[in-house]
Amino acid sequence: MMGKVIEEEKRQLSDYIKHYRPKQILRDRIMESIIFLGGLSAVIFTIGIFLFVIKEAWPFLSSRFSLMEFLTNIEWYPVSNVSVRYGAKALFVGTAAVTIGSMVLAIPVGIGTAIFISEFCGPKFKEVAKILIELLASIPSVVWGFIAVMVMNPFIINVLHEPVGLNVFNASIILALMSIPMIVSIGEDALRSVPDTYREAAESLGATRLEVVIRVIIPAAKNGLIAAILLGVGRAVGETMAVLMATGHSVAIPDSIFSPVRTLTATVAAEMGEAPKGSEHYQTLFTIGLSLLLITFSINFISDILLRKSWKRK
Amino acid sequence: MKKFLFLNPIVFLMFFLLFGCFGLKKSPEDFLIIQNKGSDTLVNLAQVWAENYGRINSKVAISVSGGGSGTGIAALINNQVDIANSSRSIKEEESKKAEQNSGKKVTEYVVALDALSVFVHPSNPLQGLSRTELACIFGSEGNCDNWSQIRNTVVPGCKNNKIIRVSRMSNSGTYQYFLERVIGKKKDMRLGSMDLNGSKESIDLVQNTPCAIGYTGMGYINDHIKALCVTWDEGGPCIPPTLENAMNKTYPITRELFMYTLGEAEGEVKKYLEWIKGIDATKLVIKMGYIPSPAYWSIEDVNRLKAQTQGQKL
Amino acid sequence: MSSFKSTELLKSKVSKQKWVESILLVTTFALFIPVAAIFLILLIKGYPAINLNFIFAGPSNGMTEGGIFPAIVGTFWLIFLSLFFTCPLGILAALYLNEYARDNTFTRIINLAIINLAGVPSIVYSLFGLGAFVLFLKMGTSILSASLTLSVMNLPVIITSTRESLLAVPKSFREACWNVGASKWQTLWYVVLPNSLPGILTGVIFSVSRAAGETAAILFTGVAFYLPFLPESIFDQCMALSMHLYTISTQVVGVPESYTFGTALVLIGLVLIVNTLSIVVRSYYRSHRKW
């Protein structure tokens, strides 16, 4: 009886080793390579984005393009019967203006909110606040643009008595509201990653909550907070539809926060549809796309390094 | 997995919606798609035509997209569309290119006229402008930045009396026509204007902004803005943008709107183009604020049709 | 505490803290006022437009009347097709990073690539889609190109959320599974993935809302101004809610205000419903976790 069972088990085991095990291993190998390819996809797409943007911009980059003209000339005449000029200075300045404007608002509010929900408020409020911030983050950018045109625009004209409602100010507020969720969530992560032992040690020395936050938590989470701000900046630089609708689209160096400007992203969005494929104008727009890509890539790269540093300590 | 069963109804609902849509479509054998693309000036009219034509001829569906005259003609050259809409006549090199690509000559159809009117906020006391004044405001060689430079105008409600120029994106047919016709063939527009994407945006902006001046297709003028008459030659009469003036070409900023096909139109495309010449389509032209082509219609006809269409729904 | 004397210094510190705390509370609330205001305005101005005809009819009278059905349908096409491409790819990538990858330079490059993808501006995605799918792969401006572009854009979202939920599955689950002779893939398939499914679902739902609201990325890749018919294959163009909102609020003259607000309300309603769903799934899952 006993021997039979053992025989049976032995048979099953050899069956497993002979037939089942190789199949199992084979399937594992196949799946592993498929999964590896999946893992590679992000790299492939990143390289692909660079490649295709450069490929389409290349004929212009390799011939007529002059970095001096591109960066320092204000004359953006992509279509002209006199002479085409591709000076993107005003576009870079426009992007910088709305980004700085939005950050003036978004950094204090975003970091303040992150500190508040991470350090001061109770768990219930925290849960609710985080959900609300998530909802804020989910509003599509075209809806923000719509709000800029339909709500902010008349507000600026009628209440602030400025002649034009579509300007740096309008776009900055909209962009601030769009980038705050990102600053809050990454900033909150950074603050949370400061070990509780830090807080306990400081409090046991008699520091108040505020002192703990200012003297201990913020310095400890500094890198993460800077990364949060940088990613917010990246978001503001790359935003398209909202600024397309809110900035007023004027190729000019702004002389006040109520001047209309034009950004890099909005220029691409507005002009690409009408630029004949393969024309110089089309290639120039791809060149703008490339500069956007480089800007956001360096922002992401730096913030990644900062975040990595702040994780390491944890 | 049981606990996620509650999601099933939602998933079902989504699939139901998606497949419900499959049920609604017409089957492909039933109808022919006519691709129609190009000028943003013509796109609204083309869309109304397409909509109405679809109602009387269920065999044909006409897809309409905008993007500008250049885009439409480029698509025609690449043989991607059946009909290209354009608000400028095709350039010689473009028609040559199209002939090279397809072996067919490009055929031109004048489908309507469009008059550009210059318009301001109703509180602006000006009734008319001369061509030189327009060039001074919009042209790159002009220097009119303040309303006081134009006949010492003071615009009530306008801060600093500053002129806010509302223009269009540089690829739009409206922009190019205005530039070539009013400013000059070998001239540029002055930078710093608000270059908006659509007629609606320009009109919305001007009706909210006392300082502003813009230009748009005559069809879009509404009661909230004031269209100006235009003095073309020094000392000449100031001609208001009206239907009569546009049809007998006394209004100086009038242009023809074209549809282009590769070779002579055939089959359903030809039927569609014939229908466009007909009375139903012409009523729509009037209703939309464009001007019927004088090649097929006299002013008396148009006035009669206009009386008929008054108060009628499209 | 009673043994400590409350000194003047401590008092001033405490009152200072109270001040800062209330300022922070105000900034936090200040954040929600505009949000609430936006929803209210959209609701008040858009609600009158919404009825069955608005949802289930096509635009008519030069897009100034009628409904937005083709736009809704187009948006659903884009959502489903883009999910079809991203989900498998994103989950595979997350599996690789979480279960297979070693801590080396290559893994760091993948991570950097994901972070970079998450930060690429949507208009650059559109350029990429135009260059790669529309022109190079000759798919033309079609639903296919647009949803491929959207799926590349959503890839980092799915990867990140899947990784988080894979991380949450305890190591002991995997070890127990290996001990009974399961292979690595069997462990993943029968134990790890089912247990992390809700978390993955959260990410998927979130990417649905991104796909629904995105405009710039589909601008040059597959949306049309007006289509009198519904798309029938992935090679057709389509209308999309987000694009429709952009066109009627900037380009079409004579659209009644309620119509544009109604469209905005439908769009944001769709996005919010989907997002709330993802939040509900997540919190349900957190409170019913097996471990």
Residue B237: give its domain's CATH number.
3.40.190.10
Q: Tell me the Ramachandran region of residue A261: left when phi exceeds 0, alpha when psi lies from -120 to 50, beta otherwise.
A: beta
Task: Output phi, psi for A226, to 5 deg.
Answer: -65, -40
Q: Do C76 and B198 touch (CB under 8 A)?
A: no
The confidence score (pLDDT) of residue A1 equals 61
**B31-71 confidence digits (pLDDT tens):** 688 888 888 778 878 888 988 888 888 788 888 887 777 77
Structure tokens at A268: 């691409």
Closest CA–CA distance from residue A249 to any residue of chain B (Å): 5
Q: How many domains does chain C have?
A: 1
Q: State the DSSP string of B23-84.
A: HHSPPGGG-EEEEEEE-HHHHHHHHHHHHHHHHH-TTEEEEEE-S-HHHHHHHHHTT--SEE
Say yes or no: A168 and A294 in one domain: yes
Say yes or no: A298 and A259 in one domain: yes
pTM of the model: 0.85
Neighbours of chain A (3+ CB pairs under 8 A): B, C
Nearest CA in chain A to C133: A52
Residue C21 lies in a domain: no
Say yes or no: A175 and A241 in one domain: yes
The confidence score (pLDDT) of residue C124 equals 95
Alpha carbons C10 and B249: distance in angstroms, whole number: 86
The confidence score (pLDDT) of residue B5 equals 39
- Burial of B267: CB neighbours in 10 Å, binned 0-12, 13-18, 19+: exposed
What residues in C contact B43, CB-CB < 8 Å? 225-226, 251
Percent over 90 (pLDDT), chain C: 23
Say yes or no: B124 and B172 in one domain: yes
Closest CA–CA distance from residue B53 to any residue of chain C (Å): 10
Residue C28 lies in a domain: no
Pick from B180, B194, B208: CB nearest A249: B194
What residues in B contact C255, CB-CB < 8 Å? 200
Pick from C131, C185, C216: CB nearest A52: C131
The confidence score (pLDDT) of residue C103 equals 84
The confidence score (pLDDT) of residue A96 equals 95
B313 in contact with C, Cβ within 8 Å: yes
Which residue of B65, B171, B222 is the best one to mutate when testing the C interface, meaning the one whose CB has the most C CBs within 10 A?
B65
Say yes or no: A147 and A15 in one domain: no
Q: Which of residues C65 and A226 earns the better pLDDT score?
A: A226
Q: How many domains does chain A have?
A: 2
**A18-72 confidence digits (pLDDT tens):** 777 788 888 888 888 888 888 889 999 999 999 999 999 999 998 888 888 889 8
Say yes or no: B264 and B198 in one domain: no
Percent over 90 (pLDDT), chain A: 41
Q: Do B195 and A250 touch (CB under 8 A)?
A: yes
Range A133-160 average pLDDT? 89
Say yes or no: B290 and B238 in one domain: no
Pick from B74, B164, B179: CB nearest A276: B74
Residue C31 lies in a domain: no
State which of A12, A35, A63 marks the end of a domain. A63
Say yes or no: B141 and B262 in one domain: no
Closest CA–CA distance from residue C8 to any residue of chain A (Å): 14
Pick from B61, B197, B219: CB nearest C250: B197
Say yes or no: B192 and B301 in one domain: no
Alpha carbons B291 and B301: distance in angstroms, whole number: 12
Say yes or no: B65 and B133 in one domain: no
Nearest CA in chain B to C278: B7
B196 in contact with C, Cβ within 8 Å: yes
Say yes or no: A281 and A232 in one domain: yes
Range C242-252 average pLDDT? 86
Q: State the DSSP string of B229-249.
A: EEE-STTS-EE---HHHHHTT
The confidence score (pLDDT) of residue B200 equals 80
Q: How many residues does chain C have?
A: 291
Expressed as residue numbers, the domain containing C193 is 52-287
Task: Specify the DSSP element, H or E, that contains B196.
Answer: strand B194-196
Say yes or no: B205 and B185 in one domain: yes
Neighbours of chain C (3+ CB pairs under 8 A): A, B
Range A278-293 average pLDDT? 92
Characterize the bridge pairing of strands B291-292 and B106-120.
Answer: antiparallel
Q: What is the CATH number of the domain that holds C78?
A: 1.10.3720.10
Residue B17 lies in a domain: no
What residues in B contact C254, CB-CB < 8 Å? 222
What string of pLDDT tens digits covers the 314 residues of chain B?
Answer: 333 434 444 444 444 444 444 444 444 456 688 888 888 778 878 888 988 888 888 788 888 887 777 778 888 888 888 999 988 888 888 888 888 888 888 999 999 988 889 999 999 999 999 999 999 999 988 889 999 998 888 888 887 888 999 998 877 778 888 898 898 888 888 888 998 877 788 888 898 888 899 998 887 788 889 999 999 888 889 999 888 888 888 899 988 899 999 988 888 899 999 999 888 888 888 877 788 888 888 888 888 887 776 655 44
Q: Do A271 and B159 touch (CB under 8 A)?
A: no
Residue B188 lies in a domain: yes
What residues in C contact B200, CB-CB < 8 Å? 249-253, 255
* Mean pLDDT rounded to a whole number for chain A: 88
The confidence score (pLDDT) of residue C17 equals 82
Say yes or no: A45 and A161 in one domain: no
Alpha carbons B258 and B302: distance in angstroms, whole number: 19
Say yes or no: A81 and A188 in one domain: yes
The confidence score (pLDDT) of residue C64 equals 72
Say yes or no: B109 and B120 in one domain: no
Q: Number of C-alpha atoms within 13 angstroms, CB side, residue B292?
A: 25
Say yes or no: B41 and B92 in one domain: yes
B293 contacts B111 by C-beta, under 8 angstroms? yes
Residue B11 lies in a domain: no
Pick from B162, B186, B194: CB nearest A82: B186
Alpha carbons C253 and B44: distance in angstroms, whole number: 9
- A residues 194-253 lying closer than 8 A (beta carbon) to C: 208-211, 231, 234-235, 237-241, 245
Question: Which residues of A touch chain B, with CB atoms under 8 Å apart?
Answer: 74-82, 90, 149, 153-154, 157, 161-166, 244, 248-252, 260, 262, 270-271, 273-277, 281
- Burial of B106: CB neighbours in 10 Å, binned 0-12, 13-18, 19+: buried
Say yes or no: A59 and A75 in one domain: no
Residue C40 lies in a domain: no
Task: Output phi, psi for B84, to 5 deg.
Answer: -105, 130
**B215-240 confidence digits (pLDDT tens):** 988 877 888 899 999 998 888 899 99
What residues in B contact C237, CB-CB < 8 Å? 63, 65
Shortest CA distance to C263 belongs to which of C37, C65, C36, C13?
C65
Say yes or no: B228 and B129 in one domain: yes
Expressed as residue numbers, the domain containing B142 is 115-247
Kindly tell me if the per-residue pLDDT of C1 is higher than 80: no
Kindly tell me if the per-residue pLDDT of A137 is higher than 50: yes
Task: Output phi, psi for B201, to 5 deg.
Answer: -60, -45
Residue C7 lies in a domain: no
A170 contacts A246 by C-beta, under 8 angstroms? yes
Q: Which of residues C41 and C255 earns the better pLDDT score?
A: C41
Pick from C140, C225, C232: CB nearest B66: C225
Say yes or no: A57 and A124 in one domain: no
**A89-101 confidence digits (pLDDT tens):** 999 999 999 999 9
B63 in contact with C, Cβ within 8 Å: yes
At which residue do the structure tokens 């108060």 appear? B311
The confidence score (pLDDT) of residue B92 equals 87
Expressed as residue numbers, the domain containing A101 is 71-313
What residues in C contact A9, CB-CB < 8 Å? none
Q: Do A238 and C183 touch (CB under 8 A)?
A: no
Structure tokens at C34: 């505009």
Kindly tell me if the per-residue pLDDT of A144 is higher than 90: yes
B193 in contact with A, Cβ within 8 Å: yes
Say yes or no: B120 and B235 in one domain: yes
What residues in A contact C135, CB-CB < 8 Å? 56, 277
State which of A28, A63, A98 marks the end of a domain. A63
